[in-house]
Amino acid sequence: MLERVPLLEKSLADYAEVAGEEAIEAIRAAAAPLVGARILHVNATAYGGGVAELLATHVPLLRDLGIEAEWQVIHGSDEFFAITKNVHNALQGAEIEWTAAMQRVYLEKVLDNALLLEGEFDYVVIHDPQPAAILALAGSSTVNAPGTKWVWRCHIDLTDANPDVWEFFRPYVEQYDASVWTMPEFVPSSLSMNRIVQAPPCIDPLSVKNLDLPEPFMREIVKQYGIDPDRPLMCQVSRYDPWKDPLGVIEAYRLVRQEIPEVQLVLAGSMATDDPEGFQVWEEVDAARHGDHDIHLLSNIQQVGNVQINAFQRAADVVIQKSLREGFGLTVSEGLWKGRPVIGGRAGGIVLQIHDGENGYLVDSVEECARHSIELLQNPARANEMGIAGREHVRQNFLSTRELADWIGLFNQLAG
């Protein structure tokens, strides 16, 4: 069978303080018809990316509601994950050579995983392109029993998808009973399905990454990584991926430094098991910083986990997410939730989170990123006002309770 992901317990009642009692009761009422239902989520990695973070909260909360929810991950070779990373890039607009050999390796490995599917479920949710063909290849597996509803959740931006790659995946996606997207703009016009749903992802306000940290604790953590908590700090948290534009962030930092010489930059993120490109990008970023000790390049390799990310974001005077393409960018809401203004690339789901000039800025260039960073670093009162507005925006729109309600609503619709 596929690898089951072990999970901690979570209680929906604990979210009442941040989401409100009324929202919690509404979720419980909506979930009542689903008590005892069996739900399986499948993705490509148990850690290191936004999907894993979402499922680490979502599945335990489903269980707390009396739903039998599981999370399993597919396995794959280095060759398979290199191909799926190319697919990911192509679906976000990159030009790649999509060969018959690549297609064959992809389908063979997904078939291997399909043959490992076990159990009986009422709903199966498949996340992103890596396992997208698994429904078509599941055959007479017990998981593919009559009456089982299948959902494909696409977390990436297909606005400018490579047509050859998308046309390969489209027939597999169209076999699902529903698909879920972050924004309607992401949905290719050629997709023909009866049920296409928009539901942006959300952050968990009670996760270790987002819980309040006492300031002395936060300061001590950042000092352990050579960061001076008394000097201005810019911070971008994201996977080491060209679409996150870490090289552009370094360029912006250097422009800021011309005006504010004492500024520091943190680039922090995790290496995901399904992203072999990450180490290559790490090396490029390391070379680009030219030994500058005020550019802190960090990842889980340096024992940077959720507590440390929390501290870096809280210590930052400006949080950056200068993506060129972005499915959603959970780190934007994370920064806003911590009361920090966020400067984000005008890309994908970032535009849902940043109200330009109110809780941060949307930018299209290195120069804009630098200019707004300087403005916020030189005007901390304005930065704090934006941070307060950002936290409220997240509270109303991007907490995990809202996403849980969205999924429960979809499962109820499919049951009907």
Q: Which amino acid is at 89?
A: N
412/416 Cα distance (integer angstroms): 6
pLDDT at site 278: 85
- Length of the chain, please? 416
- CATH value of 3-202+399-415 in 3.40.30.10, 1.10.260.40, 1.10.3720.10, 3.40.50.2000: 3.40.50.2000
How deeply is 20 buried, as exposed, middle or buried, from its count of CB atoms within 10 A (0-12, 13-18, 19+)?
Answer: middle
Q: Which amino acid is at 52?
A: A
pLDDT at site 20: 95
pLDDT at site 274: 66
Q: How many CA atoms lie within 13 A of 364 on its CB side?
A: 0
Question: CATH assignment of 215-397?
Answer: 3.40.50.2000
**Using only C-alpha atoms, what is the Rg of the chain?**
21
Q: What is the DSSP string of 116-127?
A: T--S--SEEEEE
pLDDT digits (tens, 9 = 90+) for 372-387: 999 999 999 999 999 9
pLDDT digits (tens, 9 = 90+) for 36-89: 999 999 999 998 778 999 999 999 999 999 999 999 999 999 999 999 999 999
pLDDT at site 271: 75
Structure tokens at 122: 């009422």
pLDDT at site 141: 84
Beta bridge partners of 362: 344
Cβ count near 171 (within 10 Å): 11
Alpha helix locations (H) across 246-294?
246-259, 277-288
Alpha helix locations (H) across 299-356?
306-315, 330-337, 350-353
371/385 Cα distance (integer angstroms): 18
| Per-domain boundaries in the chain | 3-202+399-415, 215-397
Q: pTM here?
A: 0.93
Cβ count near 331 (within 10 Å): 30
Contact 272, 49 (CB under 8 A): yes
**DSSP label at 143?**
G
Q: Divide the 416 residues of the chain into consecutive groups of 10 and give the mean pLDDT of each group.
A: 95 97 98 98 90 96 98 96 95 96 98 96 98 94 92 96 98 98 97 96 96 96 97 96 96 98 95 77 94 94 91 98 95 98 97 98 98 98 97 97 98 94
Q: Which amino acid is at 22?
A: E
pLDDT digits (tens, 9 = 90+) for 201-226: 999 999 999 999 999 999 999 999 99
Contact 243, 326 (CB under 8 A): yes
Cβ count near 291 (within 10 Å): 7
- Ranges of beta strands (E only) in 104-258 are 123-127, 149-154, 178-181, 196-198, 233-237
pLDDT at site 301: 82
